[in-house]
Amino acid sequence: MADRGTAVVTGASSGIGADIARQLAARAYPLVLVARRRDRLDALAADITRDHKVDVVVLAQDLAAPDAATAVLDAVRARGLAVEVLVNNAGYGMQGRFLDMSMADVERMFRLNATTLTHLTQLFAREMVARGSGYVLNVASAAAFLPSPYVSAYAATKAYVLSFSEALRFELRGTGVSITTLYPGITTTEFNDVAHAKTPAAMNLSILSSDAVARIGLRALFNRKRAVVPGLINKLNAIFCTVLPRGFIVHVTGLLLGRANGW
């Protein structure tokens, strides 16, 4: 098999990021795994090395820190690695009444979900364009398609990822570098626990495993698709968000989330 360029995966310590890392390793990609929790990264790296015999570099980096993207690039360059795939998966959500949230926590979420994603995309896409080939997968959310009460700031960060990624994809036409945006719905990960989120029972039918979401996302990435929404119900919800009156969708979403969480 021909030598592969390296794949960088952020938020790789659990959930969708960890499954994307495993599936990239199964495709023979050497990996750079980035997240805060070194113990989890080390455990994942050991499993991947044992199962797939690829090189794995672990970077314990808080991606919400200022200049985090530059630190990742510097670490990759110091090892002489050529990055062929960038997966911007790191992110977290906050659920509740916005007026009750700590602004410091909101700003940290914006840095992780939007600022660092943007900077990593710029830094690595520049190098990919210079080489004439590369793939970028930006992980947004089904929440990107509409303003969502009680996750208002989080949904706004994911709407940013939608707009930024799909517009930049156009700018990169003809460069050999493509950007694919993944819009997962509710997934069996730690995400809801971190966000202290409860979801309406009706949404349980849309839940997918992180392994399935990772597989769908990578298939779209390597086919250089613009975007992918995993799961039929999530696809239908995305369509409804574009054809039904926006005020109606926001009202229904607010009622469902409010009732599920006792607000």
CB atoms within 10 A of CB 86: 28
Tell me which of 29, 135, 150, 158 is the catalytic residue: 158
Query: Looking up tokens 């809801």, which residue turns up?
Result: 192
Q: Is 29 an active-site residue?
A: no
C-alpha 238/C-alpha 159 separation (Å) is: 13
The terminus-to-terminus CA distance of the chain in angstroms comes to: 56
Tell me which of 29, 135, 150, 154 is the catalytic residue: 154
Q: Is 154 an active-site residue?
A: yes
- Beta carbons of 129 and 175 less than 8 angstroms apart: yes
**Tokens (6 digits) for 87:** 């997966």
Known catalytic residues are 154, 158
